[in-house]
Amino acid sequence: MALTDWSENVILGELSDEPILSEDLGTLLARLEGSKTALHVVLDMRKVSYLTSSNLAQLIQTRKFAMGCGGSLHLCGVVDSVWSILLMTGLDRIFKFSEDVSTGLAAAQLGL
């Protein structure tokens, strides 16, 4: 995954499909763990075609870490197959979504 510091409090991550996805999310979690500053995370999910239960747990943990320090998590470009998994699990109600990365970055920057 390419992790980019888009600004001092916004991290942009471009996720890949499995089997790399688990490693990508693990890298992001390690970066967020113990952070004391408000970090907003924007994840480009256009290349992710499905999610495992472990991936879902990692996304929930990422949200928890980001929100724990006053930040947020934005999922961008979610494809239909992933969207259906999020709907079936009810996780569509806890995550913030954007159609594309630009919109997600703007929302993160504005603290929405």
pLDDT in tens, 81-107: 999 999 999 999 999 999 999 999 999
**Cβ contacts of residue 46 below 8 Å, gap of 6+?**
76, 77, 79
pLDDT tens digits, residue range 16-25? 998 899 999 9
Domain count, the chain: 1
- The enclosing domain of 77 has a CATH number of 3.30.750.24
Closest CA to 17 of 41, 43, 42, 45: 45
Residue 57: how many other CB atoms lie within 10 Å: 12
**Cβ contacts of residue 79 below 8 Å, gap of 6+?**
45, 46, 48, 49
**Pairing of β 72-76 and β 96-98:** parallel
Domain that holds residue 27: 2-110
For the chain, percent of residues with pLDDT exceeding 90: 71
The tokens for 48 are 């992710």
State the average pLDDT over residues 17-41: 88
